[in-house]
Each structure stands twice: as C-alpha cells, then as structure tokens.
Amino acid sequence: MTYSCKFCGLVFESPRKVAGHQAGKHMKGLGLKNSTIQVDDLSDYQLGYLAAFLDGEGGIQITYNERKDRLYTTALHPTVYFTNTNREVIETLKSWLRAGCIVVAKAREGCKPTFVLHVTGTKNIIVLLERLRPLMIIKTKQADVMLEYCRSRASHYRGKERRYTERELELYTTLKKLNERGVKSTPTHGSLTKAGKSQTGNLESEARLRKLKASHTKARYLK
C-alpha cells in the first residue's frame, strides 16, 4: 500500500513519510523552537564556572542514529552535557540555566552513580556556547565545530525530513574525531596494536561519512 502527498502527488511507503515530506516541503512558517535556556542573568563567576566545568567534566557531541520511517533516514542530535557524581552540583547547574534534563548513568560495581545534565536543542546550544566559548580552554575546537553545525542547521531547517548538507555531515565526523580518546603518535614496536586500532577507527569514520552522503544522495533521487 502506498500513500501520496496531497500537495504534489509524490508517493511514499507510509503515512509518516508523507507527513514529514509535507511538513518540510509544503507547510510555511516551520522552524526550530526558540531557545529556552537562560544565560543573560548569569554572573561572570557563574559563566566562568560553567565554562571550566564543561572543559573538565563535560562534553560536546553529536549523536547519530537512523530512522527507517522517514525519507531521509539519517538523524543527528547535538548535545552539550555536564557530568559529576555529586547530584547537588548538577542540579545547581540546571537551576542556573533553567534548561536541560538530568539523567543517571549506570555505575560499575563499586562506583558511585554519575549524574548527567544534557542541554539539547540547536538554539539552546548556540546561546550557551556563544557565552561560554570565550572562557573555555580545552574544548574550544569542539565548541567551534558545534557552533558552526548548529548555526547551519538553524539557517535552513524545515520540518522533520532532516536533510543535512554535506558540510554538516563533515562537521559531525570532525567532532567525533576530536572527541576520540587516547594519544596518537608514531607507532613503535610496543604500540603497533594501538596504532592499528586507531587507523581502523579512522577508516570506520570515513566509511560512515560516505554512507551518510550516499543515503542523502539516494533520498534526493527518490524525490
């Protein structure tokens, strides 16, 4: 059974794909939600604390998953997060920002649980990083990549079709590489195994980027 768009007649396999297509192509006035994060009232001390916390015990990342129920199956989700085993400090950060959600990460046996404050939403992340970026030291490259990605998404986002530009896909891969753990160096006799794993990881990242670009190209031809 197939379903067609009431505006242009394009045929899809499911009602959800039709809805996503109509929202992205034919309905005006769509866009990203306004930011809900509050940083204008924060003191220099609070901004400095947030920046140092993000540098030391936080992270800036874009997660990837696939949605088979949509024409464009790729889904990228940007997030800025703060982690600590002290729940009180994480709740304090949330009260300052008045945004985000707190989750509890599973702890290994004998370890304390970790509390994580996730700040999501493209416009929320732009507002947050524009204030914290000048104060950061360690994760400045990640912040710059994330800001470029979020600004790009905010400039052309139209509904839930989730089409990504080639540059946005490259930024996702760049941020993933920046967040890789470990020190890369010229391999020696004792580090050949680690070097081999690192090279394998790079090849996997390049393969995923090619796959992302291919899926978007295929979706364009199907339109």
- Domain residue ranges of the chain, discontinuous segments joined by +: 1-30, 32-180
The mean per-residue pLDDT over the stretch 107-111 comes to 83
Spatial separation of the C-alpha atoms in residues 175 and 141, rounded to whole Å:
8
pLDDT at 41: 93
pTM for this entry: 0.69
Contact 169, 176 (CB under 8 A): no
Q: For domain 32-180, which CATH number applies: 1.20.120.160, 3.10.28.10, 3.40.50.970, 3.40.50.300?
A: 3.10.28.10
Q: Kindly report, residue by residue over 130-181, the tens digit of the pLDDT.
A: 999 999 999 999 999 999 999 999 887 655 556 788 999 999 999 999 999 7
